[in-house]
Amino acid sequence: MVTKRIKSASKSKKVPVQPGNHEVYGLVLFAVALFCMLCIYAPSQYTGGLGTSVRDYLKDNLGWAAYAIPLYPIVYGVLSFMEKSPKTISRQVIASLILLVSGLLASNIIEPLSGGQWLGYITEPIRQSISWGGLLLPLVGVTLGAEVLLLLPPFSLLIAFFRLISERVVGLAQTTELNSQQRKLYGKLRVHEQELEALMSLYPSAQELKVWLTTLRKAKVNIPDFTPEEKLQLEEELNNTQELLQEFSTKKAREITEHLQEEEYPLPELPHELERPLKLELQSAQLMEGHRVMLTREYNELLGTIRKMNRERDMNIKTLSGNVRAVQLRQVLSQQESRTLSWKQTSKAVTAWQQQVDIFVPWMEFLVEVAAHAQGLVLDSELAKKLTQNFKKTLREIGWWEKSLENLQGSPAVPASKNEVAENVEFDLDFSSLEFSFEDPTPISADPVPAPTYTPPAPASREEEETPPWMEAEEPEDDPAEASNPLEPQQPKANLKDPQPTVGAIPATKPTPDLLDPIPNTTQDRRILDQMARERADLISQTLSEFKVQARVVDHARGPTVTRYEIEPAPGEKISRISGLSNDLARALAVGGVRVEAPVPGKSVIGLEVPNAEREPITFHAAIASKAFGDSKAKLPIVLGKSIDGEMYVGDLARMPHLLIAGSTGSGKSVCVNTLIVSLLYRYLPQELRFVMIDPKMVELTPYDGIPHLIRPVVTNPADAAGVLLGTVAHMERRYKMMSQVGAKNLEQYNAKMRQIGEPELPFMVIIIDELADLMITSPKEVESAIMRLAQMARATGMHLVLATQRPSVDILTSLIKVNVPARIAFAVSSSHDSRTILDNTGAERLTGQGDMLFYQPGLVKPVRLQGPYISEGETVRINDYLRRQFFEDWFGEAYGTDFDGVDEGGAGPKANGPMDFSDPLLRQAAEICIEEGQGSVSRLQRRLSVGHARAGKLMDMLEAMGIVSKHQGSKPRDILITREDLPEFFGK
């Protein structure tokens, strides 16, 4: 008893709880929760090495469930502060843990290790064995968690679900059960009904089919009411109907077979002359060999098409030989109809091919005769030239060429009969006995080859009326002294006018296309190019199928540099799979690299840009002669290049409104700048457009020094460039003040108001910086601030920036410059990082160079790939020489030229109007220029002496003070008051 009392006393005795322990527990739990939150949610730079290790450990092992860990300490910490027992929420915590584990299991089954490595060891065998069937396990876990939360017995929800499904299935089976004979009859009726409907669609006029179908449908409706005897009778009738249907189908099959046996698709014959290659050492024979290969390839394609049609016809006959059903009849009739349409097209193609063969075969024998002739090489060179210019037309003129061969002096060195040619189709001739002279053909000019004198009879068609082009080329010149050998390659004639005398100036006019090189004739055989493109398209489709990518090439577009193949992926095929195969496609096509454009703007296809084997040259002459440049409504049109679709792309600098050009050395950047400048020179006079050019490299823009469009000489010193740019900013602010005074918002409105009151208009201004990197290294703050002011505000004043650099790095192309210069041209670069720096996108690293560019401006969905035109140094020199000889009254330069001087060239400080210095070494030279020109002008001195406007103005003021030139006369040039003989009186000998 005593022991029991002691035990009961010890049990009833309560352990004293120190006050404040629950707050301590709560704070500890909150600290744990805070630590977990910092480790899991915060970035690495705020947690340090320990936090990063904890976060990586939790995320690797628990997956996304690691984000829920801080919730449990927070909940228990709140309970501790409220002095409540943790048992109050134990059921909810257990249920949440079961649901969390079920979610992790589902994640690991759908995507491996997304739910952590701990559960990955359990789910990985399940996922590999039954795949997504393993989701049943987390589904059971979800139901178990719901049962714990709802205080239900374990698995009670699953049991109730399966019990409900079984009851529904059993009830459905009971309600739809029919006796076996009734189901069998219903199935037969359905089969006969489908067969009758199919035959009715093929032969709607057959009355017996209509009667059978009506009777059968009535029986189908009344089956449930039939007695067993009626069902047996119906089954017998169905068997009889089946025999009648088979007899009807067999009869129709015989009729179709008779028509099929009447189909004939004859195979064309390949002439034996086309079976072997043409082996002659002639330029024209090489061109003819390409045409022979094309004809042979077309023959093989036609042969394959006709053989396929014959095979399909034989298969149709075999199909109709046994028991035939309506489906087979429909298939055969459909194939017969499509085959008839295909044969109409194929027969036309065979006829066209045969016509080409009839024209081509005589050339085989003719070329042998040319090779055997003593002077055949002379005729061969002219024939090759004409074949290159117009292949089809020259092929039809074999009669003219045969007569021309007869008229050549000399006789064949080796007689070649037609029989010999027919026997030796490889044309392996022995040229060792031929006495050809491979010396300079100029001695032939002493005894020129006479032009053919053959006069053909009156032709029946217009094509035969035309004189062969090579006969027209050999017409003698009017001047006998200038006559030359007609078969000798002629040098291109210069289209330039005779240079005018240097004394005196010519009025300011736009350059003419005569200053440019003639447009070369680069016509290529489109059939050969299309055949090569089709072969590459088949190779692309084959390569994609090898990598199990479901896609096909649906079209192609050949550009001057690359050919874009349009790939249509199958439904559900990801674009990324095709983009990831760019290197494999380049290997299969044996090219340096391909560019994937996914997708092509405006089309639901993927573009694969493959470099061409031969680049098509685009000349600047052809660009400005294009309709796109001539009809352009742009304010400042600039020729950018030709697109893949073959269209000339002309941009508008006024809409861009500033342009950034970047690319590696030798990629075509400098040529692009030259074409941009010359495009504007061909459109605007000096009174309408002025340039400010900065060229720290001193090689690219210095050839333009002295043209009248320059407001000041080309800046070549990087130290002076910052001052010139700041002066340009000052002129921009001056323009804004002038526009505000007349209430104009932009240059266009200002010039319109000036035209109304008869005042001179302000010209457009283009500021070109050829190498931005040199300026950014010399004066980064001043240059960047000036460029920012101009880029942000100069558009309304008609002033536009063109920035070029061969160093596309982030320290040169800063974010401020890129934001304010939205239009970009990217040439070939070395890495995708440089491409992103220029275009904010990849692609420029896969360009081929030599003018291949990506152009982007606001409004375009994606950058456009273009091939820039080429302008030679000779063309640039001729244009600049022509412009330097022009004269005009430069009121704008005299009024505002000092804004762009920056630092005075003489070193006297910035724009200082000091006293006249008559000891200036350029004073006498300025006087000689004025006497030579016959008139005096500040702008003329500025260009001829390559000095700034301030110094040229001082020289003109000193000449006026000395009495050499007259006073300023408004818009008229100054008169010259002395002659050259009077110069020693002013300057001495």
Task: Fill in the amino acid letter for 61.
Answer: N
d(CA 589, CA 593): 9
> What is 658-878's CATH number?
3.40.50.300
C-alpha pair distances (Å), 286 with each of 293, 315, 357, 572: 11, 44, 17, 48
252 labelled ligand-binding: no
Instruction: Report the first-to-last Cα separation within the chain, whole angstroms.
Output: 150
Query: Which two structure tokens, joined as six digits, stand for 180?
Result: 């076996």
Q: Helical H runs in 870-937?
A: 873-884, 891-896, 923-933
* 824, containing H or E segment: strand 823-826
Q: What residue ranges of the chain have pLDDT lower than 50? A: 1-3, 5-7, 9-19, 174-175, 177-178, 410-504, 903-914
pLDDT at residue 181 in the model: 59
Task: Fill in the amino acid letter for 406.
Answer: E
pLDDT at residue 221 in the model: 66
Cβ atoms of residues 654 and 639 within 8 Å: no
pLDDT at residue 172 in the model: 61
Q: Reduced to 3 states, what is the DSSP secondary structure of residue 95?
A: helix
pLDDT at residue 989 in the model: 63
697 labelled ligand-binding: no
Query: 66 — phi, psi (to 5°)?
Result: -60, -25
pLDDT at residue 16 in the model: 47
Strand order in the sheet with 648-652: 648-652, 637-643, 864-867, 852-856, 823-826, 659-662, 799-805, 764-769, 689-694
Q: What is the pLDDT of residues 51-100, one digit of tens each?
A: 778 777 777 777 777 777 788 788 877 877 777 777 777 777 787 787 77
Provide the residue count of the chain. Answer: 989
740 labelled ligand-binding: no
Greatest alpha-carbon pair distance for the chain in Å reads: 155
Residue closest to 800 by CA, chosen among 770, 825, 821: 821
Cβ atoms of residues 864 and 826 within 8 Å: no
Query: Which two structure tokens, joined as six digits, stand for 876?
Result: 């640039």
C-alpha pair distances (Å), 700 with each of 670, 765, 870: 7, 19, 15
Using DSSP bridges, classify how beta strands 659-662 and 799-805 pair: parallel, antiparallel or unpaired: parallel
Using DSSP bridges, classify how beta strands 506-507 and 606-611 pair: parallel, antiparallel or unpaired: unpaired
Task: Fill in the amino acid letter for 435.
Answer: E
Cis peptide leading into residue 657 (ω within 30°): yes
Q: Reduced to 3 states, what is the DSSP secondary structure of residue 339?
A: helix
d(CA 9, CA 82): 30
> In 10 A of CB 173, how many CB atoms?
9
Task: Fill in the amino acid letter for 504.
Answer: G
The residues that bridge with 802 in the sheet, in sequence order, are 659, 768
Task: Fill in the amino acid letter for 746.
Answer: N
Query: Which two structure tokens, joined as six digits, stand for 39?
Result: 């480790």
Query: Quick one: 605 exposed, middle or buried, by C-beta within 10 A (0-12, 13-18, 19+)?
Result: buried
Query: Which two structure tokens, joined as six digits, stand for 119?
Result: 């559960």
**pTM tops 0.85:** no
Q: Which residues contact 614 (CB under 8 A, 6 or more apart)?
A: 524
666 labelled ligand-binding: yes
d(CA 705, CA 715): 9
249 labelled ligand-binding: no
Indicate the class that CATH gives domain 526-611: alpha beta
CATH 3.30.160.20 corresponds to the domain 903-987: no
53 labelled ligand-binding: no
706 labelled ligand-binding: no
Q: Helical H runs in 42-89?
A: 44-62, 71-81
Cβ atoms of residues 124 and 108 within 8 Å: yes
d(CA 312, CA 306): 10
Strand order in the sheet with 551-558: 551-558, 562-569, 606-611, 595-597
Cβ atoms of residues 877 and 845 within 8 Å: no
d(CA 621, CA 559): 18
670 labelled ligand-binding: yes
Residue closest to 297 by CA, chosen among 610, 541, 534: 534
Q: Helical H runs in 635-717?
A: 669-681
Q: Reduced to 3 states, what is the DSSP secondary structure of residue 298?
A: helix
Query: 568 — phi, psi (to 5°)?
Result: -105, 110
